[in-house]
Amino acid sequence: MKFTHDVIVIGGGAAGLTAAGGCALFGLKVALIEGHKMGGECLNNGCVPSKALITAAKRAAEAREEKRFGVTLAAPQVDWTGVRGHIRDAIAGIEHHDSVETFEEMGCEVLLGHARMTGRQSVEVAGRTLHAPRIVIATGSEPVVPPIEGIHDVPYLTNENLFEIDELPGHLVIIGGGVIGMEMAQSFRRLGSEVTVIEPHDLMGRDDPESVAVVVDTMKGEGVRFVHGAAKKVEGEAGQVTVHTDGGETVSGTHLLLAVGRRARVRGFGAEDLGIALGGNGFRVDARRRTSVKGIYAIGDCRAGPRLTHVSGYEGSNVALEIVTGLPTKVDYKALPWCTYTEPEVAQIGMTEADARKAHGDNITVVREEFSENERAVAEGYTRGHMKMVLKGKKVLGVSIVGRNAGELLLPFTQSITGKSSTFALGSAIIAYPTRSEISKASAFSAWEQTVFGGLPKKYAALVARLRRALS
Ligand SMILES: Cc1cc2nc3c(=O)[nH]c(=O)nc-3n(C[C@H](O)[C@H](O)[C@H](O)COP(=O)(O)OP(=O)(O)OC[C@H]3O[C@@H](n4cnc5c(N)ncnc54)[C@H](O)[C@@H]3O)c2cc1C
Ligand SMILES: NC(=O)c1ccc[n+]([C@@H]2O[C@H](COP(=O)([O-])OP(=O)(O)OC[C@H]3O[C@@H](n4cnc5c(N)ncnc54)[C@H](O)[C@@H]3O)[C@@H](O)[C@H]2O)c1
């Protein structure tokens, strides 16, 4: 076959952009195909608009605490059009990173249109047929619309239309208390909406329950209402929607947000005709992100596995490296970080305590440090939260943090979990004072405290002291 390209990448989100850009920067001939908006979910309907919304909500929350630290603020006045303008500005300020021009400058041929795979090495788009020995599928995911009775007869929001609504909801009812549900619940509450979250299982079920408890407590204090149960029926019309739960509760509000997870985008572009195997929620892939069909990879949200922007980017680089070098390149998630941007933030890297107990039984140690002992936190008057470090011997398996800007504290643990830096190195590092990072040093040092101040070092210190007395 005469190849038009070295690699064809389908999807211009975090995964596809990184794979395509990586290959192009090494000089390969790359076709990058995007059917909707460059930047995908993160830029247009996900991380960027949600974090912009969270920022506006945080400002409102701060102003609501009128008198603090001897400073009086005016009560907040929330103008939804202004908030939406800030969200649009944030997207506009970032979109050039993901633009057609940027990727053309890197050397990609960018094609705008719906891609369709017509063979193991061929893809049709915008009236052209492209051929390449490697195809990377990076088609992402979309919000799940659950099979709740009546759901197609009521107006509902998902992350795809939430950030473009015309007015601030009077009462936002959220089905799903996962990551999106919790971030959006707190934000809309802080902006002035009434908010009810309906969730049948543990809220933010992937995270350490002790971290989640701190956030739930904070959100309840701010007026978010939580209903335990699964939504089983909805009814109503624009401005008046009612949800019935399996526990017999009825919740009515003005707007309904579905935040019940994501479905991988695996159909409608020829993958099924090629027999690419599915597994879990998405394409089935191995550690090199190869699908069941030779020469075809699947990365990011469209395959079974974690769905996060940094994960999509990491898999894009990994696959680019494998394609460029021709050498097998596996992903490694033992130090996978994630953060939920509620206030306080919930940050996790590696194993939670529950994961570690499942893997190692009681053969682990958990050390815990409170932000109430961190002097920066005290000076800032925001001491809520803690850090928990899970160790096997002196080796860090995972860290769970809940606290202000907790996500910023994860980085050193990437190094310690992957063995590139020890708990001893972190525990003896010089840390700028006063910073929240001091809690990381304190946790790491806890792993060594018993050894450092143990019997042997004490005997050694006594010997040195004795000798000094004798010789002085
Ligand atoms: C509200 C919300 C908030 C989030 N916040 C965070 C966060 O704070 N941090 C974080 O790490 N993650 C966050 N995420 C998750 C993150 O957005 C996703 O994990 C990430 O965007 C996935 O990137 P992707 O490239 O795999 O897929 P996508 O971004 O979905 O990109 C796939 C692209 O492929 C295109 N496409 C699909 N089919 C075709 C076709 N046949 N032809 C051509 N193009 C096609 C689509 O148009 C799309 O642009 C959030 C998600 C949501 C919904
Ligand atoms: N800060 C971040 O990194 C961030 C932020 C937002 C989204 N995301 C990503 O987006 C993805 C989707 O987030 P999400 O919150 O939609 O999914 P999720 O999987 O985090 O949570 C979905 C929740 O919906 C609940 N649910 C399902 N059916 C229900 C029903 N009938 N009634 C009530 N509750 C029901 C589930 O029990 C679950 O707790 C996640 O995979 C996450 O990785 C990440």
**Alpha carbon of 294 to ligand 2 centroid (Å):** 33
Q: Cβ(98) to ligand 1 under 6 A?
A: no
Domain boundary among 232, 260, 288: 260
In a domain, 92, yes or no: no
Query: Taking all residues of the chain, what is their mean pLDDT, rounded to a whole number?
Result: 97
Segment 243-264 shows an average pLDDT of: 98
Q: Percent of the chain scored above 70 by pLDDT?
A: 100
Segment 381-386 shows an average pLDDT of: 97
Domain boundary among 284, 305, 325: 325
Segment 276-302 shows an average pLDDT of: 97
**Alpha carbon of 16 to ligand 2 centroid (Å):** 23
Q: What is the dihedral of CA 212, 218, 220, 223, to 10 degrees?
A: -140
Name the residue range of residue 278's domain: 7-38+99-142+263-325
Q: Cβ(200) to ligand 2 under 6 A?
A: yes
The rounded distance, in Å, linking the Cα atoms of 234 and 314 is 39
pLDDT band at 71 (very low <50, low <70, confident <90, very high): very high
pLDDT band at 465 (very low <50, low <70, confident <90, very high): very high
pLDDT of residue 213: 98
- Are 11 and 135 in a shared domain? yes
- Are 137 and 162 in a shared domain? no
In a domain, 205, yes or no: yes
pLDDT band at 66 (very low <50, low <70, confident <90, very high): confident
- How far lies 458's CA from each of 376, 423, 424, 450, in Å? 32, 21, 18, 11
Kindly report, residue by residue over 9-41, the tens digit of the pLDDT.
Answer: 999 999 999 999 999 999 999 999 999 999 999
The minimum-distance atom of ligand 1 relative to the CA of 162 is 1
- Are 11 and 138 in a shared domain? yes
What is the domain count for the chain? 3
In a domain, 82, yes or no: no
Residue 288 has pLDDT above 90, yes or no: yes
Residue 336 has pLDDT above 90, yes or no: yes
Residue 319 phi, psi dihedral angles, 5° rounding: -70, -40
- Are 138 and 269 in a shared domain? yes
Residues 6+ apart with CB under 8 A from 1: 121, 131
The H or E element spanning position 311 is: helix 309-325
Domain boundary among 233, 260, 287: 260
- Are 127 and 160 in a shared domain? no
Number of residues that make up the chain:
472
Q: Cβ(47) to ligand 1 under 6 A?
A: yes
For ligand 1, atom 51: residue with the closest CA: 46
Contact by Cβ (8 Å): 260, 177 = no
Residue 1 has pLDDT above 90, yes or no: no
- Are 342 and 208 in a shared domain? no
The rounded distance, in Å, linking the Cα atoms of 288 and 6 is 18
The DSSP secondary-structure symbol of 66 reads: -
| Of 110-119, 203-212, 419-428, minimum mean pLDDT range | 419-428
Q: Cβ(124) to ligand 2 under 6 A?
A: no
The ipTM is: 0.99
- In DSSP terms, which residues pair with 72 in a beta bridge? 67
Q: Identify whether 344 is preceded by a cis peptide bond (ω within 30 of 0).
A: yes
Contact by Cβ (8 Å): 156, 257 = yes
- In DSSP terms, which residues pair with 267 in a beta bridge? none
In a domain, 73, yes or no: no
C-alpha dihedral sign at 305, 310, 313, 319: negative
- Are 27 and 133 in a shared domain? yes
Q: Which residue has the tokens 């969730």?
A: 199
- Are 272 and 138 in a shared domain? yes
Kindly report, residue by residue over 161-185, the tens digit of the pLDDT.
Answer: 999 999 999 999 999 999 999 999 9
Q: Cβ(176) to ligand 2 under 6 A?
A: yes
In a domain, 465, yes or no: no
The rounded distance, in Å, linking the Cα atoms of 250 and 254 is 14
pLDDT of residue 404: 97
Sequential DSSP letters for 158-220: -TTTGGG-SS--SEEEEE--SHHHHHHHHHHHHHT-EEEEEESS-TTTTS-HHHHHHHHHHHH
Segment 323-330 shows an average pLDDT of: 98
**Alpha carbon of 341 to ligand 1 centroid (Å):** 18
| CATH number for the domain harbouring residue 294 | 3.50.50.60
In a domain, 357, yes or no: yes
Kindly report, residue by residue over 43-57, the tens digit of the pLDDT.
Answer: 999 999 999 999 999
pLDDT band at 400 (very low <50, low <70, confident <90, very high): very high
- Are 135 and 23 in a shared domain? yes
For ligand 1, atom 23: residue with the closest CA: 14
Residues 6+ apart with CB under 8 A from 112: 33, 34, 35, 100, 126
- Are 320 and 254 in a shared domain? no
pLDDT of residue 74: 95
In a domain, 319, yes or no: yes
In a domain, 94, yes or no: no
Contact by Cβ (8 Å): 19, 138 = yes
pLDDT band at 327 (very low <50, low <70, confident <90, very high): very high
- How far lies 298's CA from each of 14, 40, 220, 383, in Å? 13, 16, 40, 43
Kindly report, residue by residue over 348-366, the tens digit of the pLDDT.
Answer: 999 999 999 999 999 999 9
By CB atoms closer than 10 A (0-12, 13-18, 19+), residue 397 is buried
CB atoms within 10 A of CB 391: 21
Kindly report, residue by residue over 444-463, the tens digit of the pLDDT.
Answer: 999 999 899 999 999 999 99
Q: Percent of the chain scored above 90 by pLDDT?
A: 99
**Alpha carbon of 205 to ligand 2 centroid (Å):** 9
Parallel, antiparallel or unpaired: strands 116-119 and 7-10: unpaired
Over the range 22-53, which residues count as b (16 or more CB within 10 Å of their CB) and which as e?
bbbeeebbbbbbbbebbbbbbbbbbbbbbebb
- How far lies 17's CA from each of 14, 292, 331, 403, in Å? 5, 23, 18, 32
- In DSSP terms, which residues pair with 33 in a beta bridge? 10, 111
- Are 361 and 434 in a shared domain? yes
- Are 398 and 367 in a shared domain? yes
